[in-house]
Amino acid sequence: MAFLELRQIDFSYPGGRPAVLSGVNLALNREGISAIIGPNGCGKTTLTKIMLGILRPTSGEVLLEGRSVQEYTLAQIGRRIGYVFQNPEQQLFSSTVAEEIGFGLSYRSEDPAVIRERVEFLLDYFELSPYRQVFPLHLSYGEKQRLAIAAVLANEPEFLILDEPTVGLDACRKELLAAHLHKVARLGRGMVLVSHDTAFVNRMANRVIALEKGRVQRDSGLEGNVGHES
Amino acid sequence: MLGMNLDPRSKLVIVFCITTLAVVYNTPRALFLLLAGTIGLLLLFRIDIKRVGGYLKPYMLLLLILFLAQCIFTPGGEVLLAAGSLRLVGSRGLLLGTSVVLRLLIVIAAAILLTTSNSRDFISGLVQWKVPYEIAFMVSVTIRFLPLFRDEFVNAVTAVQLRGVELKKVSWGKKMALFRQLFFPLVYGAILKAQQLSIAMEARGFRAYPQRTYLRQLRLNWADYGLILSCPVITLLLIGLSIVGG
Ligand SMILES: Nc1ncnc2c1ncn2[C@@H]1O[C@H](COP(=O)(O)OP(=O)(O)OP(=O)(O)O)[C@@H](O)[C@H]1O
Ligand SMILES: [Mg+2]
């Protein structure tokens, strides 16, 4: 059974606007790195928000391990699927960088020592240690992006959806991010990357899904190994 | 269709009258009637009531906190609820709490009326009435930004839940603690964004030239004149009545 399955998804934003997504079918496995690519405005971000149940499809259904995502609360989904928003500012809401990274953990009654250790590790890995007491929205764009990713990784979700994670990162930081994501993938955790960064996609993804005008135009996961998919 | 045709200035006058009444009235009954009237007006303007519900939802927690605070901290009146010898809710507190909540609901409902015009029209309307451009602009920016702040808040609430915090099933104590934790960063974030807006405005020449030209000239039609003249008169009458009657 697929981890996340989308069946015949149609979606349009309220207000009688044209359909953003039509007839999207996708099955994502628990493991492996998939990339969603496509031009601006083709509905990539919308699709990821539907996967998480933030937006409700106009018709069709989204299944998480065979159960409709509507049956889970947002928090239950968030604990299993880590989501990095396209705009990092939309998901930073704490008073300091360190608090932001530890936020999810502190609400899970984890041992404070464990929390501290993991926060320290991520601060160090994403090179945010000098800013631990800084207000998150005062950081530079690339730093905000790294912080948003670190805050999501801190929860150690079993699946990740990252919307444009490399935007604003310099070459060296992109390298570090790739290495960390590879490590996460080797632990058997799956992820979806939405990206315009062709080099990054080619190097990370073992499946590429091309979206165009709200439809799946091409899906490398369905070509070579159809038997493997189902 | 009525909402589309009215001049933004007429809407401002209506909203001003409604909020004045909301401040003057101090019994829950009068406030409730005023709220009903305001909602009736929204219906008349063909505003989707479901959308109004959506607008109000983010404020519910705030309203509840205000209500409880008023109930508990206002002395006087009969004791309605007590824990042993400790009085919790008195009749005066209950009345005041209800009034405060109704007042806020009225103000929010009235403000929704303003969202039916675009902000350009507000500016040119006010400027035609010789209000300085800077002030007119600030008024319209406020109106324009209210829904944005609401979206910001909704976004933050989504982000918090996605980090694994259950908001629906958590106890009130924890909800309050979370609210306290988020309040400062959210407000400060909003201020930062407003600052960026002001820099962007100056970069595009805001206040660089003393004269401004306007593409659209607004004209008041007879319905506008009727409303602008009658609303304040009705409001004054209602205030007078409430003083005499109360
Ligand atoms: N909240 C919204 N209300 C109305 N329309 C929206 C909203 N958000 C997005 N859209 C529209 O839906 C379409 C798809 O948007 P989406 O953000 O999913 O695109 P995207 O593929 O992520 O683009 P990008 O590459 O720029 O990130 C766009 O045409 C956009 O204008
Ligand atoms: Mg996008």
CA–CA distance, A139 with B31 (Å, rounded to integer): 46
Q: In this structure, are residues A45 and A86 in contact, taking their beta carbons and an 8 Å threshold?
A: yes
Q: How far is CA B86 from CA A37, A191, B82, B175, in A?
A: 64, 56, 6, 25
Q: What is the ipTM of this complex?
A: 0.84
Q: Which among A83, A89, A137 has the least Cβ separation from residue B162?
A: A83
CA distance A177 to A168: 12
Tell me: pLDDT of B114 over 50.
Answer: yes
**What's the burial of B206, exposed, middle or buried (CB within 10 Å: 0-12/13-18/19+)?**
middle
Between residues A43 and B121, which one has the greater pLDDT? A43
pLDDT at B1: 46
Chain A residues with CB-CB distance to B188 below 8 A: 135, 137
Does residue A228 surpass a pLDDT of 60? no
Domains recognised in chain A with CATH numbers: 4-93+137-222 (3.40.50.300)
Residue B107 in contact with residue B22, Cβ under 8 Å?
Answer: yes
Long-range contacts of B198-206 (CB under 8 A, 24+ apart): B206/B137
d(CA B15, CA B19): 6
Q: List the one residue out of A25, A9, A7, A29 whose CA is nearest residue A229.
A: A29
Of A73, A79, A92, which is closest to B168 when you measure between CB atoms?
Answer: A73
pLDDT band at B111; cut points 50, 70, 90: confident
Predicted local confidence at residue A229, as pLDDT: 39
Atom 27 in ligand 1: residue holding the nearest Cα: A40
Q: Whose CA is nearest to atom 26 of ligand 1?
A: A40
pLDDT digits (tens, 9 = 90+) for B70-97: 888 877 777 777 777 777 777 888 888 8
Residue A46 has pLDDT above 70, yes or no: yes
Residue A38 CA: nearest ligand 1 atom is 21
Position B126 pLDDT exceeds 80: no
Verify whether the Cβ–Cβ distance B163 to A151 is below 8 Å.
yes
d(CA B220, CA B229): 12
Give the lowest-confidence range in A47-61, A105-119, A127-141, B118-132.
Answer: B118-132
Beta-bridged to residue A68, according to DSSP, are: A63
Choose, out of B163, B166, B187, B192, the residue to mutate when testing the contact with A (most A CBs < 10 Å): B163
Q: Distance (Å, rounded) from C-alpha B47 to C-alpha B51?
A: 8
**Inter-chain touch A93–B156, beta carbons under 8 Å:** yes
Residue B104 has pLDDT above 80, yes or no: yes
Enter the pTM of the model.
0.70
- Indicate whether B4 pLDDT > 60: no
Say whether pLDDT at A123 is over 50: yes
Q: What digits encode the pLDDT tens for the residues B41-76?
A: 888 877 777 777 777 777 788 888 888 888 888 777
User: Is the minimum distance from the CB of A20 to ligand 1 under 6 angstroms?
Assistant: yes
Whether B244 has a pLDDT exceeding 90, the answer reads no
Contact B181 A95 (CB under 8 A): yes
3-state secondary structure of A210: strand
How many angstroms separate the CA atoms of B229 and A105, rounded? 60
Could you report the per-residue pLDDT of B127-185, keeping only the tens digit for each?
Answer: 777 777 777 777 777 766 666 677 777 888 889 899 988 877 777 777 777 877 787 88
Residue in the block written with tokens 């539907």: A50
* Protein residue closest via CA to atom 3 of ligand 1: A13
- Measured between CB atoms, does A133 come within 8 Å of chain B? no
pLDDT band of residue A226 (cuts 50, 70, 90) is very low
> Which among A90, A95, A107 has CB closest to B155?
A90
The pLDDT score that the predictor gives to residue A121 is 94
Give the pair of three-digit tokens for residue B205. 């020449």
Ligand 1, residue A214: give the atom nearest the CA.
Answer: 14
Picking from A121-125, B15-19, B44-48, B184-188, which range would have the lowest pLDDT averaged per residue? B44-48
Nearest to A163 by CA among A59, A46, A55, A45: A45
Identify residue B77 by its one-letter amino acid code.
Answer: G
pLDDT at A198 > cutoff 80: yes
Average pLDDT of the segment spanning A207-214: 93
Lowest mean pLDDT among A101-105, A218-222, B80-84, B146-150: B146-150
Q: Which residues surround ligand 2, an ion (CB under 5 A)?
A: A 44-45, 86
Burial of B171 (0-12, 13-18, 19+ CB in 10 A): exposed
Amino acid at B79: V
Instruction: State whether residue A219 is helix, strand or coil.
Output: strand
**A202 interfaces chain B, CB cutoff of 8 Å:** no
In angstroms, what is the span from residue A87 Cα to ligand 1's centroid?
13
pLDDT computed for residue A5 by the predictor? 95
What is the per-residue pLDDT across B187-237, written as a single tens digit (0 to 9) for each? Answer: 788 778 777 777 877 787 766 666 667 776 777 788 888 888 888 888 888
pLDDT, position A230? 37
Label residue A78 by pLDDT band (50, 70, 90): very high
